[in-house]
Amino acid sequence: MYEVEMKVRAGGDDVRARLRDAGASRSRVVFQEDTYYDAPHREFAETDEALRVRRETELGEDAPPGVEAVADALDDGAFDTRVTYKGPLVDDESKTREEFETGVADGATMARVFAELGFSPAATVAKRREFWRLDGVTVTVDDVAGLGTFVEAETETDEAGVEGARDRVADALRALNLDPDDQIRTSYLGLLLGVEEK
């Protein structure tokens, strides 16, 4: 499975109004905390791969918009945990990459498994994320701790469908008066670590 994604910086409230005006529907609001790992056998920054453990919990409709306020209010037992591997980017026009993800019952145990195998935590990214649907594309409004507000448009496809999926994602951004040419291909982790865009 390939995830085809474009991400741009955008002001949150204005984008939310544009989403409503475009006929998008908001499906849920979550808090996500992503811990990224370094591998003992290769440098993920050089190979453009990522391995993360994501803790996620649903928020109510009245959850505050800032990510820091949300993070402080959560209790540790409220999280679902998933492990994700992201392969290198496969094109120069979007953030398209092969991705594998699965749920785990206990995030602390998964972290211990990684530690025993020599993987070490590199950094943690925390965000409040709103999921919207617009013309078959998932659009998220992300309030990211330490970085600000971003809009991601994405969809999944097989290898043969990447080009058409990329066009649909770009069209969704244009419907929100956002320019796909302004996309940021650097991950939130890379932005936090000051890594240059690829």
Enumerate domains of the chain plus CATH numbers. Answer: 2-193 (2.40.320.10)
Per-residue pLDDT band for 60 (boundaries 50, 70, 90) equals confident
HSE value, Cβ hemisphere, 13 Å, CA-based, for 96 = 23
Map residue 163 onto helix, strand or coil: helix
Map residue 69 onto helix, strand or coil: helix
Task: Check whether 123 has a pLDDT greater than 80.
Answer: yes
What does the pLDDT look like over 134-168, one tens digit per residue? 999 999 999 999 999 999 999 998 989 989 999 99
Residue 194 CB partners (closer than 8 Å, separation 6+): none
What does the pLDDT look like over 159-175, one tens digit per residue? 899 899 999 999 999 99
Task: Check whether 92 has a pLDDT greater than 90.
Answer: no
Give the Å distances, CA to CA, from 88 to 49, 91, 141: 5, 9, 24
Catalytic residue, from 36, 37, 85, 188: name it. Answer: 36
Does the CA dihedral 27-29-31-37 come out positive or negative?
Answer: positive
Residue closest to 59 by CA, chosen among 123, 151, 127? 127
0.85 exceeded by pTM? no
Tokens of 84: 């994700």
Map residue 47 onto helix, strand or coil: helix
Task: Check whether 74 has a pLDDT greater than 80.
Answer: no
Catalytic, 36? Answer: yes
